[in-house]
Amino acid sequence: MASRRFGGRYVKISAATNGDNELVAAATQGIIVVLNFLLVGGGTVTAKFQSSAGAGATDLTGAMPLVAQTVVPPGEAPEYGHFHTVAGESLNLNLSAGVQVSGWLVYDVVRSDYPF
């Protein structure tokens, strides 16, 4: 079987707004696949990745509680990515409070019918 490794696009994470913080704009013809990430909390806050924003958002991760200088380190990049958005939706970092969360994210965009 051929390898399913993705390419990589990089984005810095610098979010401090309570609620939705867009990291990657919607891929109108595709799915955003998160290959790896690192988060650092600047204070007490809960963070989670979501597909889309607002009331209709889909949680992509559970809530990750952070306190000052807490690091969610990068994990081993799995062959199919850690998680992915719903087709045509943005990737957001939702914060429970207006506390700085910094880091980086590696992602790729694949066609919406990609066979995970």
Residue-level pLDDT at 76:
81
pTM of the predicted structure, to 2 decimals: 0.90
Residue-level pLDDT at 4:
52
**Dihedral angle computed from the Cα positions of residues 14, 19, 44 and 46, in that order, rounded to the nearest 10 degrees:** -100
Q: Is 2 a domain residue?
A: no
Q: Is 1 a domain residue?
A: no
96: containing domain: 14-111
Do 43 and 74 meet the contact criterion of CB atoms below 8 Å apart? Answer: no
Please compute the mean of the pLDDT values over residues 79-105 and round it to a whole number.
95
Q: Residue 61: pLDDT band by 50, 70, 90 thresholds?
A: very high
CA separation for the pair 96, 68 (Å, rounded): 14
Count up the domains in the chain and report the number: 1
What one-character-per-residue DSSP string does 61-79 give? S--EEE-TT-EE------T
Q: Is 116 a domain residue?
A: no
Give residue-wise pLDDT tens across range 103-112: 999 999 999 8
Q: Is 21 a domain residue?
A: yes
